[in-house]
């Protein structure tokens, strides 16, 4: 493995971590910057978003429906081939709607990435549920200390 390959993997892992951080801090504009200009984001049950403006709008819409949300990214793997890459990431997410009705799920992101002038960006990010539950118990939620909202 070359130092370039290792650097690419590190940058892609950081990109993924910044995605999770933008979601948790409720920062749609920051999340959109992680995508290529014509990048796509696919989430089950909502229209796909193509382009940074649409990605930002989709996150803003999702956050509007769920004022309480925390996403945790777990293990994943990255495969780099020149100026493109693929990655798979597992995650859990917990949240609640405005009425306090909670949810929890486990899922997987399947990513296609492209190297741009600004570094690695998501060309296509597709989410799939692996497990989903609704919680009857009301949880107490606290704001993120660096929330953008």
Q: How far apart are CA 82 and CA 84, in angstroms?
A: 6
Please give the average per-residue pLDDT across 101-108, as a whole number: 94
Of residues 149 and 52, more confidence is placed in 52
Q: What pLDDT, on a 0 to 100 scale, did the predictor assign at position 1?
A: 64
Domains, the chain, in order of start with CATH, read 3-135 (3.10.450.50)
Q: How far apart are CA 101 and CA 119, in angstroms?
A: 39
The mean of the pLDDT values for the chain is 93
pTM recorded for the entire structure: 0.90
Q: Report CA dihedral (67, 51, 119, 34) to the nearest 10 degrees.
A: 0
Of residues 148 and 79, more confidence is placed in 79
Q: Which helix (H) or strand (E) holds 90?
A: strand 84-96
């Amino acid at each position: 493995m070359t130092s370039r390959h290792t650097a690419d993997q590190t940058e892609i892992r950081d990109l993924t971590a910044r995605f999770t951080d933008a979601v948790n801090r409720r920062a749609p504009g920051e999340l959109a910057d992680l995508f290529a200009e014509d990048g796509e984001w696919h989430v089950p049950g909502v229209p796909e978003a193509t382009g940074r403006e649409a990605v930002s709008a989709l996150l803003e819409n999702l956050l509007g429906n769920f004022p309480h949300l925390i996403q945790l990214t777990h293990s994943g793997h990255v495969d780099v081939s020149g100026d493109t890459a693929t990655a798979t990431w597992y995650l859990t997410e917990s949240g609640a709607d405005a009425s306090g009705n909670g949810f929890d799920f486990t899922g997987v992101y399947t990513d296609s990435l492209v190297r741009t002038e600004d570094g690695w960006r998501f060309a296509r990010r597709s989410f799939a549920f692996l497990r989903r539950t609704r919680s009857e118990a009301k949880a107490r939620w606290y704001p993120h200390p660096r929330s953008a909202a």
